[in-house]
Chains A and B, each alone.
Chain A
Amino acid sequence: MAELNRYDNRLGVMGWLFKGRWGFERYLYILHRITGLGILFYFLMHIVVTSLRAFDIYLWTEGEFFHHPVFRFGEFLVFAAFAFHAFNGLRLVFVELGFAVGKPIEPVYPYKTSLTKQRPLFVIMMIFAFILFVFGTYEFIISMGKMIGG
């Protein structure tokens, strides 16, 4: 008998965001990836831009291309991404080494999972991330004030 067609139903990258009613940790997983890619992109661009100094091009100095409030705001976004990614990453290091997920228990309905067990750790880490973010915001406002006000 001929082989019947099978439809490939893999969700793919779009499935990270859509195509389902997902839980909180899954969106954290996605945000962690997006912020990680954002930081990586910034890092690569940073190497390219600063290496232009070899050709006597200084794009970040006053009056140059990157000395613009839009890019300053972009840097602020990178900092916000870093604050989240760093502390969420610390949470993942703990959790992925089997800490803060609890011990195996007999599953009795309504089931309690390791997700609720590790959530206090998430809250603590996000408090640290927020404190770091506030410092970054203060620095950003001061520098923007100087940039716009002269």
Chain B
Amino acid sequence: MKPFLAVLTRDMKLATRIGGDSLTVLLFYIMTGAIMPFAIGPDKDQLAQLGPAIIWISALLSLLLALDRLFRMDHEDGSLLAMRQASLPLEMIVVAKICAHWVTTALPLIVATPVLAILLNLEIDQTLRVIFTLLVGTPALICFGAIGAAVTVSIKRGGLIAPILILPLSIPTLIFGVSAVSSGAIANAQDAALLFLAGFTLLSLVFTPFAAALALKMAAE
């Protein structure tokens, strides 16, 4: 447990220090959401209707920003190689890094969501529901992102390739994330969407450590 916590706390420190991504991701999220009303226009009802989708897309795009750094820095400066000599298997190191990444990038977004919700004229209960779906769905986004980041880790300037790999994988999460909030649908459909969303997250949490660790091992060869 101690080695796991060591990786977790180290990555959290790195993300919050200078050069870390936490604040950048958070600001990008709020800005992406905030410019939408300028493009869509000041129609309050329309904004409220599109609100959950805008929040989800903003979250998806801003999470993509930081994902490339999940393994790249450690791969390039030799840390990852040395970390592989720990008694902790590489798969668990990946889990620790994903947890730290979620806490330092996705969690601040979720906390800042009420700000966006006000800008987008969302009702309180809808805001809470968006926050809840983000809590359930963002781990899946980070997991898919981790696979993309691990696959592209050995490509110099692979920063633009990873999002192209990750975005198609994120579509189901996006669909169920938004439809778990969107009004208009039948109530049961929303709950079903939420369950699907949770299912995707659980599935991705199970497979990602193995897939990402395998990709990292192949990248080191």
Whether A and B are associated in the same complex: the answer reads no
B contact set with A: CB distance below 8 Å: none
A contact set with B: CB distance below 8 Å: none
